[in-house]
Amino acid sequence: MSGKPSGLVLSIWLAASCVAAPMTLVLASRPAFALSEIQREELPSPVIPSANDDMSPPGSAVPAPDPIGTPPSPSQPKSPDEAEPARPKKDGGMASPRVDPNAPLPEVVYDLNKLPEPVKRMHDLIVEACKSGDIEKLRPLIGTGDSITQLSLTDIDGDPVNFLKGLSGDADGQEILAILEEVLDAGFVHLDAGTQQELYVWPYFFALPLDKLDPKQRVELFKIVTSGDYDDMKQFGAYIFYRVGITPAGQWTFFVAGD
């Protein structure tokens, strides 16, 4: 059949074109995406109810929970029952203090005979072990369990004697023994007398402002640290090299270095 279409045929053709044309335009205007190519912002956002929406079922007197855990207002004081009781220092007094230059300085003591007998005995046993050159002789003094000597400001894994060997520059741990002996040969201070934190601490530099050391005291300090270490510690504001703490009952509580 040639020529122009008849009226009926033309009507059918126009109707089909009207339906197919929009579908063709839609399919041509939307490229295909894989699921991984869909951008996050194209996904519908979840509807979050406002704070004024009533989330409780009818007749319920229980309010909806706070979805973000908003802390109580600081203007609301705690009740006496909620107040935290005073607790002893978690670090056992071994963390290096920022010494208050205006506070009275503790007495520096050199005479070991002024120590309580349990403290003096533990001091002498540690020094004797150091002089032996055998780091294993420290093991019974370090102890175990809750009374174990703290050898790091953080928890350590494994055997404490092996940990000390790892701190030493030599394989047998003799360098760390020499440091421990030098620390215990220095003067000491008696801190927090009459409290749960009472300690005898070596060396005394731990509790003194470093910029107030006299020439004699600086010589004693340089037996333990270098002048470069001294300059770094002055900037920090405290002695942060190795120190030893022993309780009045003779427990060796710590041998640590650091802040």
Strand ranges (DSSP E) for 21-66? none
29-86: per-residue pLDDT in tens?
Answer: 344 333 333 333 343 444 444 444 444 444 444 444 433 344 444 444 444 344 333 3
Beta bridge partners of 150: 254
Measured between alpha carbons, how far is 137 from 180 in angstroms, rounded to an integer?
A: 13
Q: How confident is the model at residue 94 (pLDDT cuts 50, 70, 90)?
A: low
79: helix, strand or coil: coil
Ramachandran region of residue 120, left (φ > 0), alpha (ψ -120 to 50) or beta? alpha
**26 contact partners, CB below 8 Å, separation of at least 6:** none
166-188: per-residue pLDDT in tens?
Answer: 999 999 999 999 999 999 999 99
Tell me what pLDDT residue 93 has.
63
Q: How confident is the model at residue 98 (pLDDT cuts 50, 70, 90)?
A: low
- Break the chain into its structural domains and give their ranges: 7-42, 112-256
